[in-house]
Structure 1
């Protein structure tokens, strides 16, 4: 981060940042790996750049990398992703309140609040910015 004051007549050359759509392949302890489907160029992304977004990355999904001078500086996820529910709490029978939410864990390990009717095996859409449940995938 650079903190500098400029005079009104000074100009700053904009950074040459490019976007590339890539396929997420896999991760290990320190990095995430993606590949450009057109050029087959592979990218290693340090875990600290991905951060909390890691919970929304599913092998084979398409994401956007922002590059500056050939180095990945940011990862942009789609607005929503579909992930499979691997664990869902049981709901007390007779609790018919329409706003009942329960905890669920998804295939990537993240936890979200879902409506009572969601069960293990369902695929749900999750907002990648807020982590909120959006909808159940229609068959």
Structure 2
């Protein structure tokens, strides 16, 4: 049992018969009235994001979770298959647990978050940035670096991202997973 003063980013709580993780929080002390904590919480079971306000001193049930390193193997009609790097145990995760599956590449390391008491996988987290090779895009033209114009490109996982005009087929690009945004070209 924790109070609102213990709330921090990434903390998992039991709220409304569901498990949520804190995405953002802000302690607010208005000039008039009681203090409160404004939060943005995300359900680990459904992926829904909610805005919620807790009054100061409110008790929240903290859920103990464990992060385990897994390696992505493949996907089929049973789900996405991962292997634990230490125990070689394999687990299949369903579509609702795996976010940003279009960026998954064979051999990629991810974190699978487990409910520590029940030994149940709750969600899968990818690295913040990934490096992928562009498999198809329209050819770039020399001198197209001055503008911020973007063009569509397909990367090796089959996902489509928007890249600057100077990116060519075969280039490796760094992509932010959460937004799918191009960050930079990676030297080979």
User: Is TM more than 0.5 here?
Assistant: yes
CA shift at 1:16, angstroms?
2.2
CA shift at 1:29, angstroms?
2.6
Which residue of 1 is the match for residue 127 of structure 2?
78
In structure 1, C-alpha distance between the alignment counterparts of 2:185 and 2:122, rounded to whole Å: 33
Equivalent residue runs for 1:1-12 within 5 Å: 2=16, 11-12=59-60
Check whether the contact 1:30–1:47 (CA below 8 A) recurs between aligned residues: no
**Partner secondary structure for residue 97 of structure 2:** helix
Aligned residues: 136
CA shift at 1:12, angstroms?
4.9
1:5-25 CA-to-partner distances (Å, cap 9, x unmatched) read: xxx988554222111011111
Of 60, 67, 73, which aligns to 1:19?
67
In structure 2, C-alpha distance between the alignment counterparts of 1:85 and 1:117, rounded to whole Å: 12
The higher radius of gyration belongs to 2
CA shift at 1:122, angstroms?
1.2
Check whether the contact 2:141–2:166 (CA below 8 A) recurs between aligned residues: no
> TM-score, normalising length from structure 2?
0.64
- State the structure with bigger RCO (CA 8 A, min sep 6), 1 or 2: 1
More strand by share: 2
In structure 2, C-alpha distance between the alignment counterparts of 1:13 and 1:97, rounded to whole Å: 53
Which residue of 1 is the match for residue 4 of structure 2?
none
In structure 2, C-alpha distance between the alignment counterparts of 1:109 and 1:124, rounded to whole Å: 14
Unaligned runs of 5+ in 1: none
Unaligned runs of 5+ in 2: 1-14, 18-55
CA RMSD of aligned residues (A): 2.6
1:63 and 2:110 are equivalent in the alignment = yes
> TM-score, normalising length from structure 1?
0.84
Which residue of 2 is the match for residue 40 of structure 1?
88
More helix by share: 1
